């Protein structure tokens, strides 16, 4: 399973990349706004820190505009940048054209299995169902991942399911159990996934006992 960071904060990306398990980064217009930085400049820097796919989102609403923005981003930015496209009819058409030109895409704002399947048919490299935002409406976002994985099991689909809008470590664990290919999450969740009080407690005990071994001259 691939682990992506969902941020445009380069300090966080450097921190998690240093762990050696970061497979990619997703950004969106809200995350770029939060960074307070120039869009292309920050995506270029991110692409230099992490060699995996870095999603950069188009903002045009029409197919031609999305294709033009996607091509311009690909021309301007490092090779590992992929084009994030909203899951609309116009976005599907743009995804198909970009796919035919050999450009990888991430179809975002997916809230149903039908949308995911249509994005896959258009040739999306990734589809991004948003779990947390469904939870926010009082429904269970994880059901969407389960439905999509069920559809994927019945057909020969190469598009990867990228679980997004992840809010806590249990979301990640459930995605792993359901067989999602990728999960994108904030740095906070990477840290939570690694933390266990019994690891800390066990380590404390080992270090204390090792100090005694050294004090006895037996190291």
Exactly one of 84, 101, 188, 201 is catalytic; name it.
84
**Looking at 130, 141, 145, 160, which residue binds ligand G3P (CB under 6 A)?**
130
Q: Are 98 and 83 in contact (CB under 8 A)?
A: yes
The whole-angstrom separation of Cα 101 and Cα 119 is 16
In the block, tokens 């389960």 appear at 146
Q: Does 182 bind ligand G3P (CB under 6 A)?
A: no
Interface with ligand G3P, residue 111, by CB under 6 A:
no
Whole-number minimum distance, CB 134 to ligand G3P, in Å?
A: 10
Binding to ligand G3P, residues 196-215 (CB under 6 A): none
C-beta closer to ligand G3P: residue 97 or 144: 144
Residue 101 annotated to the active site: no
Choose between 126 and 130: whose C-beta lies nearer to ligand G3P: 130
Residue choice 4, 16, 28, 43 for contact with ligand G3P (CB under 6 A):
28
Minimum distance from residue 130 beta carbon to ligand G3P (Å): 6
Which C-beta is closer to ligand G3P: that of 32 or that of 113?
32
Phi, psi at 183, each rounded to 5°: -130, 135
Q: How many CB atoms lie within 10 A of CB 140?
A: 11
**Least spacing, CB of residue 43 vs ligand G3P, in Å:** 14
- What angle do the packed helices 141-154 and 169-178 form, to 10 degrees? 20
Given candidates 65, 78, 132, 179, which one binds ligand G3P under the rule CB under 6 A? 132
Q: Which of 14, 133, 168, 181 binds ligand G3P (CB under 6 A)?
A: 133
User: Does residue 165 belong to the site contacting ligand G3P (CB under 6 A)?
Assistant: yes
Q: Which residues bind ligand G3P (CB under 6 A)?
A: 6, 26, 28, 130, 132-133, 164-165, 184
What are the catalytic residues? 84
């Amino acid at each position: 399973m691939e682990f992506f960071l969902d941020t445009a904060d380069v300090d966080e990306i450097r921190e998690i990349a240093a762990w050696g398990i970061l497979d990619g980064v997703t950004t969106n217009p809200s995350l770029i706004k939060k960074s307070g930085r120039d869009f292309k400049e920050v995506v270029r820097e991110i692409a230099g820190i992490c060699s995996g796919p870095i999603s950069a989102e188009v903002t045009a609403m029409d197919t031609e505009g999305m294709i033009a923005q996607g091509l311009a981003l690909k021309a301007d930015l490092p090779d590992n940048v992929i084009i994030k496209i909203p899951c609309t009819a116009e976005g599907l058409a743009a995804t198909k054209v970009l796919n035919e030109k050999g450009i990888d895409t991430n179809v975002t704002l997916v809230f149903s299995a039908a949308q995911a399947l249509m994005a896959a048919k258009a040739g999306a490299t990734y589809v991004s169902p948003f779990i947390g935002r469904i939870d926010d409406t009082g429904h269970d976002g994880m059901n969407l991942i389960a439905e999509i994985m069920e559809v994927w099991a019945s057909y020969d689909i190469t598009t990867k399911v990228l679980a997004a809008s992840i809010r806590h470590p249990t979301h990640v664990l459930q995605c792993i159990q359901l067989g999602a290919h990728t999960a994108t999450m904030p740095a906070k969740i990477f840290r939570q996934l690694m933390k266990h009080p019994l690891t800390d407690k066990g380590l404390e005990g080992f270090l204390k006992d090792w100090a005694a071994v050294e004090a006895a001259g037996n190291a």
